[in-house]
């Protein structure tokens, strides 16, 4: 269906995000390296590697960590194509925009000149931009691997075991759960409106319609939150959520944790 306008595009974006979220659950159920580890090990281990990437000042070390990320992805049965489309190209585009000026404005040895010498690329600028892009690509790859290989529910349980306040976790869980329901609602409302609209409405009318839809969606979400709260109360919720923590660390998990921490420490040490 052809759709135009900011709100419609946003909705399409959310719908795509929903289908990606569903695909992530499928990857999380595969048998692979990361999937075989306790979720707490995945959270701590990948966080340690992200920290190592951030602290490393040497490009070779960051590139080595990038190779580690790709290796983990392969053994966790995450498609390289998926990573390239969802992470590497997007990060390259966004970080590239930020890093591009550094190539020209960083003082240092000139390696190329343009526009009669008024614009020059410096070796130091190129190194800075490359390091920035490599860092962001590697860090985002590790984070994406965590999200792709771990069901959202397990990430939340892992956070709970690190004593993140239960209320914060409940908010994250419900936001994740209900944002998709509201997006579905909004999408249906727009489709229903489109099915009753002939031609293109004038700008002011479109804005009024969008404002009205947003208002309806807001009251729907308020009603929904009130109903959800009552459904929780009905089953005994009295202000303090209790959950089961059924994770169990095995020898393999300790080996994984040790490997992650070693890799992170070596990277930090050599990348000083």
Partner 1 sequence: MLGCSHFFVPAVSQSGQEGRSLLALLFELQDVGFEYERLPALRGLSLEVAEGESIALLGANGSGKSTLLRILDALYFPSHGSISFCGQHLSPELLTQNGFALSFRRRVALVFQNPDVQLFNPTVFDEVAFGPLQLEWPREQVLSRVSATLELMQIAHLRDRPPYRLSGGEKKRVALASVIVLDPDVLLLDEPTSTLDPRSQSQIVDLIQEWKGSSKTVITATHQLEIVEDIAERIVVLEEGKVSASGRPAEVLSNHELLLRANLVHAHRHSHGTFEHSHPHLHSHSKHEHEH
Tell me which residues touch partner 1 (CB under 8 A). 22, 25, 151-153, 156, 173-174, 176-178, 180-181, 224, 227-228, 230-238, 241-244
Rank residues 88 and 152 by Cβ distance to partner 1 and give the closer one.
152
Shortest distance (Å) from residue 55 CB to partner 1 = 33
Shortest distance (Å) from residue 20 CB to partner 1 = 14
Burial of 230 (0-12, 13-18, 19+ CB in 10 A): exposed
Secondary element (H or E) of residue 22: helix 6-28
Rank residues 173 and 209 by Cβ distance to partner 1 and give the closer one.
173
Rank residues 97 and 244 by Cβ distance to partner 1 and give the closer one.
244
Shortest distance (Å) from residue 177 CB to partner 1 = 6
Shortest distance (Å) from residue 178 CB to partner 1 = 7
Contact 137, 96 (CB under 8 A): no
Rank residues 112 and 241 by Cβ distance to partner 1 and give the closer one.
241
Rounded CA-CA distance 208/210 in Å is: 5
Shortest distance (Å) from residue 244 CB to partner 1 = 6
Q: Which residues pair with 120 in a beta bridge?
A: 113
Rounded CA-CA distance 101/126 in Å is: 10
Rank residues 232 and 261 by Cβ distance to partner 1 and give the closer one.
232
Rounded CA-CA distance 270/198 in Å is: 65
Rank residues 205 and 223 by Cβ distance to partner 1 and give the closer one.
223
Rounded CA-CA distance 143/46 in Å is: 7
Rank residues 131 and 156 by Cβ distance to partner 1 and give the closer one.
156
Q: Which token pair is 88?
A: 């590497």
Shortest distance (Å) from residue 23 CB to partner 1 = 12
Please report, in angstroms and rounded to a whole number, the separation of the first and last CA atoms in the chain: 53
Rounded CA-CA distance 27/24 in Å is: 5
Rank residues 124 and 166 by Cβ distance to partner 1 and give the closer one.
166
Burial of 65 (0-12, 13-18, 19+ CB in 10 A): buried
Number of C-alpha atoms within 13 angstroms, CB side, residue 162?
Answer: 14
Distance of CA 20 to the CA centre of its chain: 11
Shortest distance (Å) from residue 246 CB to partner 1 = 8
| SS3 (DSSP) at 106 | coil
Query: What is the DSSP-derived secondary structure letter of residue 99?
Result: H
Shortest distance (Å) from residue 147 CB to partner 1 = 14
């Amino acid at each position: 269906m052809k759709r135009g306008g900011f709100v419609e595009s946003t909705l399409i974006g959310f719908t795509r995000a929903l289908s990606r979220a569903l695909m992530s659950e499928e990857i999380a159920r595969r048998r692979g390296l990361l999937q075989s580890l306790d979720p707490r090990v995945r959270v701590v281990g990948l966080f340690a590697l992200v920290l190592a990437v951030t602290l490393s000042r040497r490009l070779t070390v960051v590139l080595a960590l990038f190779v580690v990320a790709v290796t983990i992805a392969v053994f966790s049965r995450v498609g390289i194509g998926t990573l390239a489309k969802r992470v590497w190209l997007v990060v390259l585009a966004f970080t590239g925009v930020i890093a591009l000026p550094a190539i020209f404005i960083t003082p240092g040895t000139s390696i190329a000149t343009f526009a009669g010498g008024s614009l020059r690329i410096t070796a130091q600028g190129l190194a800075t931009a490359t390091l920035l892009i490599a860092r962001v690509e590697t860090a985002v790859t590790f984070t994406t691997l965590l999200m792709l290989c771990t069901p959202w529910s397990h990430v939340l349980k892992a956070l709970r075991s690190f004593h993140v306040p239960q209320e914060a976790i409940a908010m994250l869980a419900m936001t994740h759960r209900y944002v998709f329901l509201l997006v579905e609602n909004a999408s249906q409302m727009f489709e229903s409106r489109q099915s009753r609209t002939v031609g293109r409405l004038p700008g002011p009318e479109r804005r009024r319609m969008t404002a009205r839809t947003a208002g309806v969606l807001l009251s729907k979400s308020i009603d929904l939150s009130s109903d959800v709260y009552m459904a929780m109360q009905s089953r005994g919720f009295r202000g303090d959520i209790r959950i089961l923590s059924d994770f169990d660390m095995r020898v393999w998990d300790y080996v994984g944790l040790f490997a992650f921490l070693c890799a992170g420490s070596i990277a930090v040490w050599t990348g000083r």
